[in-house]
Amino acid sequence: MKKQKPDNLKGFNPFNQLPQEIIFTILDLLNSNPHDIKSFSLACKSFYAAESKHRTSLKPLRQEHLPSILSRYPNIAHLHLTRCSRVSDTCLSFVSHACASSLRSIDLSRTRLFSASGLLGLALNCNNLVEIDLSNATELKDSAMAAVSQAKNLEKLWLARCKSVTDLGVGCVAVGCRKLKSICLKWCLGVGDLGVGLLAVKCNHICYLDLSYLPITSKCLSPILKLQHLEELVLEGCFGIDDDSLAVLKHGCNSLKSLDVSTCQSIRHNGLSSLVSGAVGLQQLTLAHGSPVTSSLADSLKKFSMLQSVKLDGCLISYDGLKTIGNWCASLRELSLSKCSGVTDEGLSSIVTKHKDLRKLDITCCRKITDVSISCITNSCNSLTSLRMESCTLVSREAFVLIGQRCHLLEELDLTDNEIDDKGLKYISRCSQLSNLKLGICLNITDEGLIHIGRRCSKLLELDLYRSVEITDSGIIAIAQGCPGLEMINIAYCKDITDHSLLSLSKCSRLKMLESRGCSLITSLGLTAVAVGCKELTKLDVKKCPNIDDAGMLPLAHFSQNLRQINLSHCSVTDIGLLSLAGISCLQNITILHLKSLAPTGLAAVLLACGGLTKVKLQAEFKWLLPHRLIEHLEARGCTFQWRDKVLQVELDPKCWKLRLEGLMQ
């Protein structure tokens, strides 16, 4: 006979006795894993209620779910609507009432359909709103800015690519939002000197200002540089700014810490010398894709005692310029010379031997440097945490040994398209802090080298093996076993990879991105293992994997509920398999080119069933085979179609492919 519980214990839940503070502390520790939070909230009613009160941030998939979600979570402070392709004014009205007292930031940067009316409701009802992101809202006009200006406590406003906004709209914001601290006007082509000048005059607390690609001149710089709290100023692509414009810096901008004047061809050493007497506290300077870096230009910046970061990407740079940088009094922490023509061993060595405190160095596509540079870098800069040296093709295999011997603090290492071999990887495996390693198009590495990485680099999060064709299952298995926290792996066109690799990767439960394009030996069996084991998977690319069929789609639909992007081109999936993916509510981006068994009627059913789609890539022929009203309906729902008319191409052998690429670069 079943033993009866005492009456005084019926309905007793010990968890109800826990103080709310303890439960909130537990939830704080679980924040990194949404699955753990969900399991916690389903444990009992008290935990469910506590999790509802604790959550302050939301990123819903569809706007129609907002009413039910916000009714459960009453304390939402940060609302990200970037996954909702269309958010109506009615939806924003509901948000403004449901989160009237709690909402502090809202991100509308990837959505459409709302207007000034919806924004006005937010501004008037949400008194604690301090941040709004309206980037990419190309249809918003000055009336929307007038609505935003009613948010009196606004501190951050992002308007990148709001091309219909003019000086009038920015002026409204300047007058209404006096507490603004950060504003981005990048690519707001209707905004000029008048609007920017008003911001500078009315909003005295601005500390971050992005004016990239605006048609501004020196007229607005004077009030800008009078801002007492301005720390970051971005003038990228402002072609109206020249040396004479920067002369106003002489009158002082002591608070400025970061200046970006990249792609400003008219700024030379005369203009930059004005910085010396004005922005004495400058710490970060970006001159990418600008004027040639000569000794005169470099000499004009030598007095910056606090300068820590310099980015010269894409500039023509002379030996004298590099030597002068080496003689600066400041001790640089970050230097970027990516795609700078003119960088030689002698010039680079003159820098690294003086700036020994470098933490980040980017010498991508500096094709003239050899082992001499690598020897100087590794001998002088032992504290490097990031080294990017893609396509440094004159560096020999032996030089990579020095990196592993001397730079043990490296966390990021990009060796794409280099001559590194297994011996080099053996020494690089000594860099036990590595979290990001790129070995794409490294044709000399094999499983032997990867086994060393797997054994010693347990903190690895991202690994890129794109077209490293000598890698097989043994190397991938070693990585999967040694790097349990792996979040991204690219094994595209590693032709000998089979299901054994995917079975081992399925043990990496935090895997979010898997790119296995062109791995023709993997099948739906391996994909099933990944779907079951890697429930956090968000991006999957199995293009040109002919053995992936409908059998692999069903497990994906059941287990991979976080999947947002998938590429199934050139696979053996049919409309039946595609239809099963409709069960993945997160799925937004799908590419399905050259699916032989895909019928128009089946495709139509798939597109209708997958209600969250925002981007679909299809063969151009389907544009005429699908009903026009269906396409209109899907576009109205927020789905964007990209039609492709590419013919099926035959893949080259990777070594022939590399030779052809090198021929084009010469």
| pLDDT tens column, 582-592 | 989 899 999 99
Of the candidates 223, 192, 186, 228, the one whose C-alpha atom is nearest the C-alpha of residue 207 is 228
Question: What is the pLDDT, as a whole number, of residue 664?
Answer: 44
pLDDT, residue 132, reads: 98
- pLDDT-based confidence at residue 665 (cuts at 50, 70, 90): very low
Q: End-to-end distance of the chain based on CA atoms, in angstroms?
A: 88
Average pLDDT value for the chain: 90
In whole angstroms, give the CA distance from residue 38 to residue 61: 17
- Cα 4 to chain centroid distance, Å, stands at 58
CB atoms within 10 A of CB 627: 11
> Which among 44-53, 303-312, 413-422, 607-616 has the top mean pLDDT?
413-422
Share of the chain above pLDDT 90, in %: 72
Confidence of residue 651 (pLDDT cuts 50, 70, 90): low
Between 537 and 298, where is the model more confident?
537
- Residue located via tokens 């939002």: 177
How many Å apart are CA 430 and CA 453, to the nearest integer? 8
Q: How far is CA 184 from CA 133, 162, 196, 211, 260, in A?
A: 9, 10, 11, 7, 13
Please give the pLDDT value at position 11.
58
The predicted-structure confidence for 299-349, as pLDDT tens digits, reads as follows 888 878 889 999 999 999 999 999 999 988 778 999 999 999 999 999 999
pLDDT of residue 226: 86
Element (H, E) at 202: helix 193-202
Which is nearest to 119 in space by CA: 99, 164, 89?
A: 89
Give the model's confidence band at 647: pLDDT under 50 very low, under 70 low, under 90 confident, else very high.
low
Confidence of residue 272 (pLDDT cuts 50, 70, 90): confident
CA 337/CA 577 separation, integer angstroms: 48
How many other C-beta atoms are found inside a 10 Å radius of the C-beta of residue 486? 25
pLDDT of residue 134: 98
- 33-37, 160-164, 339-343: the lowest-pLDDT one: 33-37
Residue 242: its pLDDT value, please?
80
Note the pLDDT of residue 252. Answer: 64
Which of the two residues, 294 and 433, has the higher pLDDT score? 433
Task: Using the predicted structure, report yes or no on whether residue 67 has a pLDDT greater than 80.
Answer: yes
DSSP state of 277: H
Structure confidence at residue 299 (pLDDT): 85
Contacts (Cβ under 8 Å, ≥6 apart) of 367: 391, 392, 393, 394
Q: Would you call 64 exposed, middle or buried from its count of C-beta atoms within 10 A (0-12, 13-18, 19+)?
A: exposed
**Residue 652 predicted with pLDDT over 60:** no
Which of the four pLDDT bands, split at 50, 70 and 90, describes residue 8?
low
pLDDT at 284 over 90: yes
Instruction: Look at 193 and 254; give whichever has higher pLDDT.
Output: 193
Spatial separation of the C-alpha atoms in residues 555 and 540, rounded to whole Å: 14
Helix (H) or strand (E) holding 335: strand 334-336
Report the alpha-carbon distance of residue 612 to residue 558 in Å, rounded. 17
Query: What pLDDT sits at residue 1?
Result: 46
- What CA dihedral angle connects 186, 189, 193 and 194, to 10 degrees? -110
Query: For 454-511, what is each residue's pLDDT tens digit?
Result: 999 999 999 999 999 999 999 999 999 999 999 999 999 999 999 999 999 999 999 9
Q: What is the pLDDT of residues 103-142, one digit of tens each?
A: 999 999 989 889 999 999 999 999 999 999 999 999 999 9
DSSP-derived 3-state class of residue 259:
strand
List CB contacts of 564: < 8 A, sequence separation 6 or more.
83, 538, 539, 586, 587, 588, 589
- pLDDT value at position 613? 92
Nearest residue to 429 via CA among 414, 407, 398, 461: 407
Average pLDDT on 418-444 reads 97
Residue pLDDT, tens place only, 44-56: 777 777 778 888 8
Mean of pLDDT values over 284-290: 92
Give me the numbers of helices (H) and strands (E) for the chain, helices first please: 28, 24
* CA nearest neighbour of 595 among 579, 609, 608, 615: 579
Token pair in block for residue 576? 């039946």
